[in-house]
Amino acid sequence: MNDLLEQVLQGQIRAIARLITQVENSPAAAEQAIQALYPHTGNAHVVGLTGSPGAGKSTVVNALVKTLRQQEVRVGIIAVDPTSPFTGGALLGDRVRMRDLSGDPGVYIRSMASRGSLGGLARATASVIKVLDAAGFDYVLVETVGAGQAEVEIANAAHTTVVIEAPGMGDEIQSIKAGILEIADILVVNKADRPGADRTVRSLKMMLHLGPVGGTRQSGRISSPAAANPNGSASDGWNIPVLETVATEEKGMDALAEMLVKHMAHLRQSGEWLKREKERSWREVEMLLQQSFMSQFQASVPQDMRDTLLTAVAERKVDPYTAVHQLLEKTESKRKG
Ligand SMILES: Nc1nc2c(ncn2[C@@H]2O[C@H](COP(=O)(O)OP(=O)(O)O)[C@@H](O)[C@H]2O)c(=O)[nH]1
Ligand SMILES: [Mg+2]
């Protein structure tokens, strides 16, 4: 193992920052780093925090980290903003807000924006989580904007998903539409100092009891209608709590921190922890498998052959199944040398 990785395992912040940059910029570097670090992962509690823009996610993260730091635990933070290809305004605002956390050696903050594909962002985030896990952070908090496939994929990497709402403006309805209630383990109504917070809490509780429109809640996952849960509890026995916070005044953070611990204990006791880890591992391996099949295929079948074949499919001279068989044969013969 090289020096940089050794320093990361010791939790040295500058080494962590350098390795993450390498991991983000080069898939080969990511592979090498993850292979070496993987045996040292599996200890961090990964918490996803998601919700509509402006709900107060960054402010909650900021306040929560202060509370967690009083318990002497180390916290890594990943702020993911897929809408900001060049680390735009939102992240700059986050950085200002989180300024009072910097300088604390028990805290590391990383902003990530998509450079290219959203799938790439999910992949990079998964690697960065592992680096922080191996570096010994007790918690890894991942802030994402709650919409779209990339965020759901990122949320899948979390043990506990916290969905943050704010009163008013039909947020509840929006999150149903976006399907993010379905991934919640803990619901937070932030901005509880604002009028209408009680109503938001009530309607969220009601929705948990009714179950979501067109699907069924199952802690952290969307399940089949057969597993319907009529009493607001996930099928694994976890009662999804609705908490109120005022992040700007750091109110409600003790309760939230406590609930994270409770949820973790629940995951461990119910066997759900291992189940989620297995599901996550399988998705990860599957994703890597797809990628390596694709690159093997691209490396072994020349571009012009692919073009010719696809044109033939478009012109109805070859059907798509036959095209796939031909491409696979070509890949296979190349692989055998
Ligand atoms: N009144 C009130 N404002 C809040 C609270 N939490 C956050 N805000 C404000 O809401 C705005 C958006 O917060 P931010 O954390 O950036 O939201 P994000 O987009 O979800 O990360 C900021 O101006 C915050 O100061 C709260 O508990 N009460
Ligand atoms: Mg934010």
pLDDT score, position 124:
85
The finding on whether 229 has its CB within 6 A of some atom of ligand 1 is no
The finding on whether 84 has its CB within 6 A of some atom of ligand 1 is no
3-state DSSP assignment of residue 255: helix
- CATH superfamily membership of 39-270: P-loop containing nucleotide triphosphate hydrolases (3.40.50.300)
Under 8 Å between Cβ of 141 and 45: no
pLDDT score, position 141:
96
**Strand 186-189 with 160-165, pairing:** parallel
3-state DSSP assignment of residue 218: strand
Ligand 1, atom 25: closest residue by C-alpha:
248
Q: How far apart are CA 327 and CA 305, in angstroms?
A: 9
- The angle formed by the CA atoms of residues 98, 159 and 11, to the nearest 5 degrees, is 55
The finding on whether 58 has its CB within 6 A of some atom of ligand 1 is yes
Q: Read out DSSP for 108-125?
A: EEEEEE-SS-HHHHHHHH
Q: What's the CA-to-centroid distance between 60 and ligand 2, angstroms?
A: 9
Query: Which residues line ion ligand 2, judged by CB < 5 Å?
Result: 57-58
The token pair at 71 is 């318990």
Find where tokens 């300024």 sit.
99
Mean pLDDT per block of 10 residues along the chain (337 residues) reads 93 94 89 96 94 88 94 92 50 52 80 70 87 97 77 79 83 60 89 92 82 47 40 68 96 98 96 90 88 86 92 97 92 79
Q: How far apart are CA 322 and CA 337, in angstroms?
A: 23
The finding on whether 56 has its CB within 6 A of some atom of ligand 1 is yes
The finding on whether 138 has its CB within 6 A of some atom of ligand 1 is no
CA quadruple 22, 135, 64, 276: dihedral, nearest 10: 90
The atom of ligand 1 lying closest to the CA of 52 is: 20
Phi, psi of 192 (to 5 degrees): -65, -10
- Domain limits, CATH 3.40.50.300, in the chain: 39-270
Ligand nearest to the CA of 190: 1
The atom of ligand 1 lying closest to the CA of 164 is: 20
pLDDT score, position 151:
66
